[in-house]
Amino acid sequence: MIVLRVAFLSLLVVSTAHAAPEARLPDYVRPLDYKIEIAPDAAAPTFAGKVELQFETTKPITTLTLNAIDLTFDTAEIDGVAATVAIDPEAATATFTPLGPITLGKHIAKFAYRGKISTNAYGLFSSTALSADGGKKRLLATQFESSGARRMFPSFDEPGFKSVFNLTAIVPQDEVAISNMPIEASAPEDGRKRVTFARTPVMSSYLLFLAVGDYESIEGQAGNTKVAVWTPRGAIHRAHYALDATIEVLTWFSDYFAMPYPLPKLDMVATPTARGAMENWGAIRFSDAYLLIDDGASQQRKQQVWSVIAHEVAHMWFGDLVTMQWWDDLWLNEGFATWASGAVAKALHPEWNVEGAHARSRDRVMQQDSRKATHPIVQHITTTAEIGSAFDDITYQKGAAVIRMLEGWLTPDTFRAGIRAYMKQHAYGNTVTSDLWDALATASKRDVRAVADSFTRQPGVPLVSVDRCAGARDELTLKQERFAATPTTKLDPLAWDVPVSAVTIDGRANSAIALAEPMLRAKLAGCTPARVNHGGTGWYRTSYTPALAQAIADAFPQAAAVDRVVLLDDSWALAVAGRSKVDPWLELVTRLGSERDASVWGSVADDLLELDAVARGMPERAKLRAWAIAQLRPGLTQVGWDARANEPPRDTLTRETLLAALSRLGDPAMRAEARKRYDAAGGDPAKLGSLATVTLDAVARGADAATFDRLFASARSAPSFLDAQLVFDALGTVEDPALVKKLLDATLTDAVPMGLRRRIIGRIAEQGDHTALAWDFSNANTDNAALGVDTRRRWAWAPGIARRFIERDRADALRDFAKKNAKRDEQPEFERAAEEIELRADRRTRLIPAVASWIETHTKS
C-alpha cells in the first residue's frame, strides 16, 4: 500500500491505521468461506449487508467473536439457531451467543446488518469525481488495510485468517461494480441489479475489494490475464500510460517469480478523492494522482506513476499470494514491494538510473534511522491499534534497502532462486521473516540470518570508518559503530554483520568484505585509495580519514553517478552529526558545474533547501540563498527550460529538479520566466505542458491577491479532481501570509474538494514559512466536519504538520500536546516529529553560521 504523509506528491509511506485499542481473535476458530451480500445506498449514505460464514473451531466454544465496527445487527444465527449479539466498541468486536454450545468442527453463521458509508477513505467509502461540465458524481470503493474490512462485514479481520470470499453487490442499474474477481452473473432486481462475482482464491480479509459507480475502462492483455484500467467517466484519456505500464510490469514479475499471476484479470481502479494506492488482489485501487496521467506530463510524474503501479502489482505476489502472518512482519509485504518496483524499473528502464533514486531514498530514511525515535524493521505489534506505527519509511524504504543489500551480497541470480523457492513453498499461505531467511540460506548456502537479522531486528545505521593502507601494504582498516544524527543524540551501542563493498578509485579492483566485529583489516589488490559502499547498496554511512577523503574527492567527477550521490549524502550527514566540518560537503557542491545526473542534483538541492528552511528569519539567509542559486544555475543552463528532441530522461528530470529548487529559493530569474510562461498560456494549466507543476508553483509562491484569485478560480473550475489538485497544490506554496490565511479558510468550504482540504493544510506546513499558521488552524478545526478527520484518530495527522518547525521550544510543546491529546499508539509519531524539530534547531544554531562563514571566505573577490 502507498499512502501520503503530507502534501507532496511523493512515495512517503505513513501511519494508516484507524483503529482503537482492538484485541486479537483466538486462533482456534478460523474462517473457511464467506458469502457476502452488500446493498449500498450512496445517497443515505448507508448500506445493508448479509453474511453467511462457514467457520471451524478446533475446540468447543460457547460464543463466536468476530471483528465489527459501526455495524448494527438485525438478525444473527449459528447453525440455524438464533444468537444474541454483544458489541464491544473498544475491542471492535461483536460476540454472538447461541442457545447451546458450538461443538468442535465446522459451522455456519448468518447475519443481517446495516452499516455506514464513510467519507474518510476507510471501510466502504464515498469518493467524488468532478466532470468537465462542473458536475459531481459519487463513487463508492473500499479500503480495508489494515483493519477496515470489519467496517463492511463481520469478519476474522486479521491477515493470518485467510479464507475464500463470495461477494454479491446490489447496485444501481446504470453503474458499474468491480471486485477482485470477474462478474459471474448480473440480473435486474427491484429497479437495481444484483451483481455476483466469482469466488476468490484463499486470501486475507484486508484484500477484499468493491467499487461502484459511473466507471469506464480500457483493456489489454498480459499473457492469459485480462488487464483493465477503470476511471470515472470522462477521464479515460488519461489511462493509457497506466495500462501499458501494468502490462509491462505484470509480465516481468510473472517471469521473475517463475509463477504466473494466478487470477484471471487485473483491474486498476481510480478513486479521485481517496489517498494513495491499495493492492487488493485482482482489483488495485489508486488515487487519481497515482494512476492517471496526461501524455505531456512531467518526467517525475511519469516515473512516479510507473513506480507506484509496479509497487502495487508486485504485491500480487508479495502480500497477496504470500502474506505476512501478522503485522510484525509487514515489511515482507511493503519492503519487498518497494524493492520490486525498483528492480523492475532497473530491468525495463535502465535510462531512468533508478540506482541514484534508491541512494536518495536510502539517505532520507537513514536520517530517520539515526535518531532515538526509530524502530527495527521487524517490530512487535500487539493490537491493531499499533499497526499504524509499522506503516512508515523504516518498513518500506529501509526494508527495500536491506533487500537490495542482501541481493548484492548473495548475487542477483542466487537471490532470485531463493525468492522463487519462497514463493513456491508458501503460495496462498502466511509467513514470518525467518521463512524468507531459510529460503535464501538454502539457495545460497550462506548464513543469511546472521547478516539479515542484524539489520531487521535492531534499529539504527552503522558508521563504517575507513583508513587507507599505509606504505606498500595492501590493507584497508575498517571500523564500525552506531551512527547518531546529531552530536547530542544519545543511542545505545549496537553492532552489525555488515557486507562491505570496496572499489579502488580507478575502478580496477573490487573487494567484498564481511565486517562483523568492531575493527577489521582487509586485504586489497594494490594500494590505490579505495571508496567503500560502491553502488550505494549498503545500509551504512561511511567516514574516511582526511587523506583518503581528499583523494576520493579529487576523483569525484570520475565516480559513477550513484557513488557521487552516496559521497554527497554521507558528507552532509557527517557534518550534521558533528563528525566533520561542513566544508568537505560545500567543496563537493562547488564541483557540480558540469553535472548532468538528476539524482546528484536532487541530493544537493534537498540539502540546500534544508539549509534555507532552517535559516528562516536569520540574517545569513539572504547570502545563503544567493550562493545556493549560484550553485544550481549552471545545471539549469546546461539543460535549459525547454526539452530538446530525443533528450535523455536524466536531462528532463534534472530540469524539473532544478527549476523546483530555484523556485523555492526565490530565484528572481526563474520566477520571472515562470510568470512569463503562465501569462503566455493565458493562465491555463493545460497549456503549460510537462512544466505545469514547477511553473504554477513559482507563480503561486510570489502571487499577489489578483494572481491568487486567478489561480483559485482556475482550481475551482478544473475539469477533474486531478486538475484541481494540480492548482491547489501550487496554491499551498503561496508566501503572502494574508493569502495563506485566505486559503486555509477556504478549506472549510465547498470551494475546495473534500479530498484536498487536509492536503492543502499539510502543503502549507511543509513549505516551512507558515507552519505556525497551519498548526494553529488545524488544531482549531480538527473537529470541524468539513475537514473529514476520523474521530477515532483525530490527532493522527498533527505530527505531520508540526515536524517542519525549527524552534527547539516547539519540540517540548509538541510533547506536551501529545501527552494531553494523543492516544498511546499515536505517541511514537509525535516523538519522531519532536526529535525532527530538535534536529532542525541544531542545524540552525550550529550549521548556518559555519556555512555562512565558509561562503564569506570563499566568495570574496
Q: What is the pLDDT of residue 469?
A: 64
Known binder of ligand: residue 277? yes
pLDDT band at 513 (very low <50, low <70, confident <90, very high): confident
Known binder of ligand: residue 240? no
Q: What is the pLDDT of residue 17?
A: 35
DSSP code for 119:
S
Q: What is the largest CA-CA distance in the chain?
A: 93
> Which amino acid, 71?
L
Instruction: Point out the residues that are catalytic.
Output: 312
Q: What is the pLDDT of residue 473?
A: 56
| Phi/psi at 9 (5° precision) | -80, 80
Known binder of ligand: residue 858? no
Q: What is the pLDDT of residue 503?
A: 87
Nearest Cα to 76, choosing from 108, 44, 119? Answer: 108
Nearest Cα to 49, choosing from 142, 145, 131? Answer: 142
> Per-residue pLDDT for 841 more than 50?
yes
CA-based R_g, the chain, Å: 27
Mean pLDDT of 33-41: 99
Compute the distance between CA of residue 136 and CA of residue 387 in angstroms, rounded to an integer. 35
Cell numbers given for 461 = 545505521
Known binder of ligand: residue 280? yes
pLDDT digits (tens, 9 = 90+) for 719-749: 999 999 999 999 999 999 999 999 999 999 9
Q: What is the pLDDT of residue 6?
A: 36
Q: What is the pLDDT of residue 15?
A: 31
The whole-angstrom distance between residue 120's C-alpha and the CA centroid of its chain comes to: 18
Known binder of ligand: residue 334? yes
Domain ranges across the chain:
462-538+540-558, 667-766
> What CATH number belongs to 462-538+540-558?
2.60.40.1910
Contacts of 661 (CB under 8 A, 6+ apart): 601, 605, 608, 609, 632
Compute the distance between CA of residue 291 and CA of residue 287 in angstroms, rounded to an integer. 7
pLDDT digits (tens, 9 = 90+) for 454-479: 999 999 999 999 987 655 556 788 99
Q: What is the pLDDT of residue 16?
A: 33
The whole-angstrom distance between residue 658's C-alpha and the CA centroid of its chain comes to: 23
pLDDT digits (tens, 9 = 90+) for 91-104: 999 999 999 999 99
> Per-residue pLDDT for 384 more than 80?
no
Alpha-carbon torsion, ordered 823, 828, 831, 836, to 10 deg = -130
CA distances (Å), 250 to each of 369, 415, 658, 751, in order? 33, 20, 33, 40
pLDDT digits (tens, 9 = 90+) for 155-204: 999 999 999 999 999 999 999 999 999 999 999 999 999 999 999 999 99
